[in-house]
Amino acid sequence: MKTKIFIIVFFLNVCQFQSWSQEQKMSDGEITAFKQSVAVVSKKIKTLSTDFVQYKHLDFLSKDIETSGKMIFKEPYSLLWQYKKPYNYSIVFKNGKILINDEGKKSAVDIGSSKLFGKINKLIVGSVSGDLFDDKEFSISYFKNKEQNIAKFIPKDATLKKYIKQIDLTFDKEDATVIQVKLLESSADYTRIVLKNKVINAKVDEASFSN
């Protein structure tokens, strides 16, 4: 009897949750079409710059921790991730090196052969450009709501799994670009990054990545 009640309550909760978020699973046809449209857009991306707002959610805090800044990407692997508020901190991935500028204090890490950092770099670039659909690296599931498509990635790599439980990429249905990246940890805590004022293929100066 108890088990039955539990099962009913459980399913009621799940149903409720689904109706709240209004997220539906995509059909196989929708998945193919969605992947194609993202591939077309991400293939065109030679440079990308965007503002972002990062919300760190920790369940025990009364408010998410908000930081914001700018991101610039240039093919094939140059990446600047720059926090401007409430502090100045920027990190550049370029030619197998990580350059850090922490309020004017500079440091560099040679990551040449580090597989993990290679993966993280690919992950950040892939998350922002939408080019993350690698079945070898992730188990991927696809959802949609009225205005957005959502792809959920669960890492297969044991090392990566230690850092990230799941990545949710939210795409604008209109232009098939990423508007939100959500990194879930193995608890109720997550980091949500909202991308705004995106500019694709504008001229990007190499000096942007000197840090």
Closer to another protein by CB, 82 or 149: give it: 82
φ and ψ of 113, to 5 deg: -100, 0
Q: From the CB of 183, what's the least distance to another protein, in Å?
A: 7
In angstroms, the CA 6 to CA 19 distance is 20
Q: From the CB of 195, what's the least distance to another protein, in Å?
A: 15
In angstroms, the CA 34 to CA 44 distance is 16
Closer to another protein by CB, 150 or 167: give it: 167
Closer to another protein by CB, 55 or 77: give it: 55
Closer to another protein by CB, 40 or 61: give it: 61
Q: From the CB of 89, what's the least distance to another protein, in Å?
A: 5
Contact 57, 49 (CB under 8 A): no
Closer to another protein by CB, 120 or 140: give it: 120
Contact 184, 167 (CB under 8 A): yes
Q: From the CB of 121, what's the least distance to another protein, in Å?
A: 12
Q: From the CB of 127, what's the least distance to another protein, in Å?
A: 11
To the nearest 10°, report the CA torsion of 61, 162, 85, 180: -90
In angstroms, the CA 17 to CA 12 distance is 9
In angstroms, the CA 25 to CA 168 distance is 14
Closer to another protein by CB, 12 or 109: give it: 109
Residue 17: what residue type?
F
Q: From the CB of 164, what's the least distance to another protein, in Å?
A: 7
Contact 160, 82 (CB under 8 A): no
Q: Is 12 helix (H, G, I), strand (E, B) or coil?
A: helix
Interface residue list for another protein (CB under 8 A): 54, 56, 58, 60-63, 65-67, 81, 83, 86-87, 89, 91, 100, 102, 105, 107, 162-164, 183, 185-187, 189, 191
